[in-house]
Amino acid sequence: MDSLLSRVLLGVGVTMVLMLHHVTTGDAQPSSQAPVSTDTDRRAARKLVDEGIAAQSASHYDKAIELYQKAFALVPHPILLFNIAQAYRLASRSDQAMPFYERYLTLEPNGAQSTAARTILAGLYFNHALAQRNFGQEVEARESLERALQHGEASLDSGQLQEAQKQLREIERQLGRIRVTCQTKGAEVTLDGKALFTGPGSYQVWVKAEEHKFVVKKAGYLPDTRKVVAASGEIQTIELRLVALSERTDGTDTTETNRRWAKWKPWAVAAAGGALAMASGWLHMLAVRNFNDYDREFLLLDCTANPDPVFPGCPKDSIPSRLNVRLVLARREQKIALGGYIVGGSLIATGIILSYLNRPHMEQGFQDSSFRKVAVIPVLSTDSISVALSGNY
């Protein structure tokens, strides 16, 4: 009964506010931030509020929210935001209620329902923080506890206040803090893929004690990426900076400092592969010529010109040793040329891949020597030669 009475009284309070608003707005100066409501708007808003009260009293909270929102569109009085928040809370949807309580306090920090809004918000944020911590969301729980305390320590009973302060201290000891600065106007800064702020400016963020990735981007600039390992209870400061692409191509600055390796190295690998492939082509031509010479001279042998009808073919001892040597040489040249093609092609592909990986960038993360190590490993077997590319990027 008390709950129902409080909801009805709240609705009556809203109606009275609208009536007073009708009396006073005629003498008030028009606001540049909100349209001036007409008498027709106010009458329609009062009707919507009455219907919202009836729906809320009947526990039809979605309908009440809809009616209050329509009334607010006609007469944007802050108390209607409080009404919307109340309906959401009574519907057990505190996540949706809290932003409306916050909006109400922003517009009317000393309003008739401001104390009630702060008390309700403090309790909601406190309970929200406990649930978030149970789910391992320490960063979110810290923010909720901070908001609960910001809305006034008097809003929480002594037990809740002590528990909130204790929980906040424990969580902050587990988390790390990173202060990020970027002075480039319009630069977009993200943390672990989520938008953080737009420069210029600074931002301090609480994070879990683990590795985090900051990226700043802007069209026409090289991106700056930082990988930071946050430590529990510590504050770190990083400055993200962008360099215009024009500054990296005008010859006044060296891009080598922003590449994994010197610019010539990947192309040297590709060039070595090309040289090896060309040498293999020359060796292949020698092999073809030796095969052709062997075939031509073999056809001139007596055993091939006048074959034995019973035992066709040439006996081994009838083939001159010089022809056997030429055949062995041709086969060896052919095999080496084939291996050269494989290795040369692999080196060319490797050089192209390394050149792509060697694009200019501004990453200044871990400088561990193993972080950017690439190895080209020849792989030999009884019937093939190849190259394996391995590394840690």
**CA atoms of 173 and 169, how far apart (whole Å):** 6
Report pLDDT digits (tens) over 133-171. Answer: 888 889 888 898 888 888 766 667 778 788 888 888 888
Average pLDDT of span 220-231: 88
Looking at every residue in the chain, the average pLDDT score rounds to 79
Q: Kindly state the greatest CA–CA separation across the chain.
A: 129
CA atoms within 13 A on the CB side of 343: 20
Determine the angle formed by the axes of helices 78-90 and 94-107, rounding to 10 degrees.
Answer: 160
Average pLDDT of span 206-226: 89
Question: Any idea which architecture 2-172 has in CATH?
Answer: Alpha Horseshoe (1.25)
What is the predicted pLDDT for the residue at 253?
45
**CA atoms of 141 and 170, how far apart (whole Å):** 11
Tokens of 88: 């959401």
Lowest mean pLDDT among 95-109, 187-201, 241-255, 256-270: 241-255
Pair 185, 199: CB distance under 8 Å = yes
Report pLDDT digits (tens) over 2-28. Answer: 343 344 344 444 444 444 344 333 333
What is the predicted pLDDT for the residue at 26?
35
Q: How many percent of the chain have pLDDT more than 70?
A: 75
Average pLDDT of span 231-236: 87
Average pLDDT of span 313-317: 71
Bond into 78 cis (ω within 30): no
**CA atoms of 160 and 364, how far apart (whole Å):** 44
What is the predicted pLDDT for the residue at 304?
72
What is the predicted pLDDT for the residue at 98?
93
What is the predicted pLDDT for the residue at 251?
47
Lowest mean pLDDT among 22-26, 113-117, 334-338, 356-360: 22-26
Report pLDDT digits (tens) over 29-47. Answer: 334 455 567 888 899 999 9
Q: Find out if CATH 3.30.930.10 is the number for domain 177-252.
A: no
Res. 69: pLDDT tops 90: yes
pTM for this predicted structure: 0.55
What is the predicted pLDDT for the residue at 50?
93
For residues 378 and 135, which has the higher predicted lDDT (pLDDT)?
A: 135
What is the predicted pLDDT for the residue at 31?
40
Is residue 86 very low, low, confident or very high in pLDDT (cuts 50, 70, 90)? very high
The closest alpha carbon to 377, from 345, 338, 347, belongs to 347
Domain segments of the chain: what residues? 2-172, 177-252, 264-392
Res. 336: pLDDT tops 70: yes
What is the predicted pLDDT for the residue at 305?
65
For residues 140 and 255, which has the higher predicted lDDT (pLDDT)?
A: 140
Res. 96: pLDDT tops 90: yes
Average pLDDT of span 237-257: 66
Res. 75: pLDDT tops 80: yes
Lowest mean pLDDT among 34-38, 93-97, 117-121, 123-127: 34-38
Secondary structure (3-state) at 232: coil
For residues 138 and 367, which has the higher predicted lDDT (pLDDT)?
A: 138
For residues 242 and 251, which has the higher predicted lDDT (pLDDT)?
A: 242
The closest alpha carbon to 65, from 79, 53, 78, belongs to 53
Average pLDDT of span 238-242: 88
Q: Do domains 2-172 and 177-252 have the same CATH topology?
A: no
Tokens of 118: 């702060």
Average pLDDT of span 94-98: 93
Lowest mean pLDDT among 81-85, 258-262, 326-330: 258-262
For residues 76 and 247, which has the higher predicted lDDT (pLDDT)?
A: 76
Is residue 383 very low, low, confident or very high in pLDDT (cuts 50, 70, 90)? low
**CA atoms of 335 and 110, how far apart (whole Å):** 90
The closest alpha carbon to 340, from 389, 268, 269, 280, belongs to 280
Tokens of 50: 């009455």
